[in-house]
């Protein structure tokens, strides 16, 4: 049986405390207020009301209006109190979603790194030495950490896709205009899109459909046959992080194995356009959005210096340069669409690499520019996109992106569904083979991949629960290896499993003995107080057989 909305709210707040990542949030709604709303939602569902998102917890990027919370856009001195929810927030709440708070971002949505904020740099969900990706950094990490089920971001240059790729979740960047941008602090108003993050593609699609408020316009018709995917030669992708070219080629091979036809494509128009978003005159629109505010408060201590420099430097761009760049962009767009020809989608890595916090600090402009190599051109060309997980490289998520013409959003999702690899999860207790909760895995289509052990950095405790189950704790010292099973299941099955996860269990990364890491069940620290340490037995089954 699924958890009540109230129980899920309390679990989310316990998770917030357990992960101790305050930089993810700008404002959390007061817990009593959220609990009262949760009780109302539970009552409505019990009364038979159909709420498609009942119990789904929603995080909202801090440049999107949420009634009752300040809209800061990552700048406290800019903050204002909105009179109402932005339409996208209102539509999801009407479907039963419950907002838990607003999330951190690159200030004024200017950046792809997630570090340009007076609220602190948002660290990667699983490797705190690396950036989370921006500008929708907090929204992506809130979902990746298992706190929120859904989150809203925005995307001008890739902010709804880069954080998804880095954190191993799904990011949908819809066709411009499909989702209303009212109640959103603009970055570049003519290019901005509201985006959605989720752990699985079906969850993201459901939220996007509700955000549109009506049936999306149909994609252009095409002759029946296999999907046609445009794939540039690897050498055209430029320098990628180690292992990323191979991971990209494997993603393309996965589509081919699913029946898609791969076709070569010249990526030059896309990469040339990408450099124009910040290096050309289009950046002047960022000054139009918030330039007057920055000019009026040039010494405000909460202004990020990199953001302020980018926006104020755009103030003096002459109008003739904008018209020249528009002509150049139109030519590039014509060339890009021609090179795509009758392809259904263009497959690209979402980013060329995943920098550390130190690398971004050493070269904030250069590191950011590199990240936008494949994403910057999408909105300039009026295209839509889906960012989807495509495996791991060196223990961290690797993601790819499918890009298509306007109003092919649904088509891209269908192709992405072929691409998404099965999810994996490590279990150490009641979900092990033969244990009471193992049927939950089997009912979701899971299969056992292997029996192994964790890395020697964990302690195992017997919890006072029904049915009995252990709690796995990562420790800095005194750890040991613990028996574990790795299971593979459909991505939507993992979402179902984590949504119904009861207290005090949480989902995090578990390091295995072979040096890899996969999602797995961990335990919130409060439940370990008074629990029996059973680490010496080496595993749950050995403890039960003692």
Q: What is the token pair recorded at 336?
A: 């890009």
Answer whether 113's CB lies under 8 Å from 131's CB.
yes
Closest among 237, 268, 255 to 350, alpha carbons compared: 237
Distance of CA 82 to CAs 59, 72, 102, Å?
Answer: 17, 10, 13
Task: Provide the CB-side half-sphere exposure for 282 (13 A, CA).
Answer: 27
Strand pairing category for 170-173 and 383-393: antiparallel
Classify residue 3 by burial, with Cβ atoms within 10 Å: 0-12, 13-18, 19+: middle
Per the residue annotation, which of 132, 135, 377, 517 is the catalytic one? Answer: 135
Catalytic status, residue 81: no
Catalytic status, residue 159: yes
For 191-211, letters b (16+ CB in 10 Å) and e give bbbbbbbbbbbbbbbbbbbbb
CB atoms inside a 10 Å sphere around CB 235: 7
Answer whether 420's CB lies under 8 Å from 388's CB.
yes
Catalytic status, residue 341: no
Answer whether 56's CB lies under 8 Å from 97's CB.
yes
Answer whether 416's CB lies under 8 Å from 385's CB.
no
Q: Which helix or strand (DSSP H or E) is residue 27 part of?
A: strand 25-28
In three-state form (DSSP H/G/I as H, E/B as E, the rest C), the secondary structure along 336-357 is HHHHHCCCCEEEEECCCCCCEH
Answer whether 104's CB lies under 8 Å from 138's CB.
yes
Q: What is the token pair recorded at 447?
A: 């299969």
Give φ, ψ of 519 to 5 degrees.
Answer: -60, 150
The DSSP letter of residue 273 is H
The DSSP letter of residue 145 is T
Per the residue annotation, which of 61, 132, 137, 469 is the catalytic one? Answer: 61
The DSSP annotation for 247-272 comes to HHHHHHHHHHHTTPEEEE---HHHHH
Cα torsion for 196, 84, 303, 156, to the nearest 10°? Answer: 30
Q: What is the token pair recorded at 443?
A: 């009912």
**Gap between the Cα atoms of 271 and 504, Å rounded:** 47
Per the residue annotation, which of 151, 159, 377, 517 is the catalytic one? Answer: 159
Distance of CA 305 to CAs 65, 71, 138, 301, 529, Å?
Answer: 25, 20, 20, 9, 45
The DSSP letter of residue 274 is H
The DSSP letter of residue 317 is -
Classify residue 468 by burial, with Cβ atoms within 10 Å: 0-12, 13-18, 19+: middle
Answer whether 195's CB lies under 8 Å from 136's CB.
yes
Q: What is the token pair recorded at 309?
A: 């420099």
Q: Residue 379 in 3-state DSSP?
A: helix
| Residues recognised as catalytic | 61, 135, 159
């Amino acid at each position: 049986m699924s958890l009540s909305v109230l129980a899920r709210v309390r679990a989310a707040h316990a998770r917030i405390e357990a992960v101790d990542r305050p930089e993810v949030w700008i404002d959390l709604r007061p817990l009593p207020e959220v609990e009262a709303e949760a009780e109302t939602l539970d009552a409505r569902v019990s009364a038979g009301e159909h709420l498609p998102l009942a119990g789904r917890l929603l995080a909202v990027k801090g440049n999107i209006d949420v009634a009752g919370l300040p809209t800061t856009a990552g700048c406290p001195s800019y903050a204002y109190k909105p009179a109402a929810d932005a339409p996208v927030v209102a539509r999801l709440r009407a479907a039963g979603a419950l907002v838990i708070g607003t999330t951190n971002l690159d200030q004024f949505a200017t950046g792809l790194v997630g570090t340009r904020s007076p609220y602190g740099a948002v660290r990667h969900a699983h490797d705190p030495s690396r950036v989370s990706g921006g500008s929708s950094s907090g929204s992506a990490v809130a979902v990746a950490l298992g706190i929120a089920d859904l989150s809203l971001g925005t995307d001008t240059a890739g902010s709804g896709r880069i954080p998804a790729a880095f954190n191993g979740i799904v990011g949908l960047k819809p066709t411009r205009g499909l989702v209303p941008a009212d109640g959103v602090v603009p970055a570049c108003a003519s290019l901005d899109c509201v985006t959605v993050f989720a752990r699985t593609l079906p969850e993201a699609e459901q939220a996007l459909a509700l955000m549109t408020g009506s049936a999306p316009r149909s994609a252009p018709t095409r002759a029946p046959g296999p999907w046609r995917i445009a794939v540039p030669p690897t050498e055209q992708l430029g320098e990628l992080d180690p292992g990323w070219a191979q991971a990209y080629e494997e993603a393309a091979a996965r589509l081919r194995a699913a029946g898609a036809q791969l076709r070569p494509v010249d990526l030059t128009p896309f990469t040339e356009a990408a450099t124009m978003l910040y290096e050309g005159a289009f950046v002047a629109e960022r000054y139009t959005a918030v330039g007057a505010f920055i000019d009026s408060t040039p010494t405000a201590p909460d202004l990020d210096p990199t953001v302020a420099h980018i926006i104020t430097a755009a103030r003096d761009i002459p109008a003739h340069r904008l018209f020249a760049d528009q002509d150049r962009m139109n030519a590039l767009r014509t060339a890009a669409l021609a090179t795509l020809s009758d392809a259904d989608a263009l497959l690209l890595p979402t980013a060329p690499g995943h920098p550390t916090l130190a690398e971004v600090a050493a070269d904030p402009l250069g590191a950011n520019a590199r990240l936008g190599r494949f994403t910057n051109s999408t909105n300039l060309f009026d295209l839509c996109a889906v960012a989807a997980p495509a495996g791991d490289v060196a223990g961290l998520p690797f993601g790819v992106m499918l890009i298509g013409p306007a109003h092919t959003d649904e088509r891209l999702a269908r192709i992405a569904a072929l691409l998404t690899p099965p999810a994996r999860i490590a279990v150490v207790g009641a979900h092990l083979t033969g244990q009471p909760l193992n049927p939950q895995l089997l009912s979701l289509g899971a299969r056992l991949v292997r029996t192994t052990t964790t890395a020697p950095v964990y302690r195992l405790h017997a919890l006072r629960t029904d049915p009995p189950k252990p709690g796995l704790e990562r420790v800095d010292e005194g750890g040991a290896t613990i028996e574990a099973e790795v299971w593979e299941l459909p991505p939507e099955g993992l979402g179902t499993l984590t949504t119904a996860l009861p207290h005090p269990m949480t989902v995090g990364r578990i390091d295995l003995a072979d040096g890899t890491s996969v999602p797995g069940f961990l335990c919130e620290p409060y439940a370990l107080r008074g629990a029996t340490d059973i680490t010496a037995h080496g595993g749950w089954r050995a403890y039960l057989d003692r």
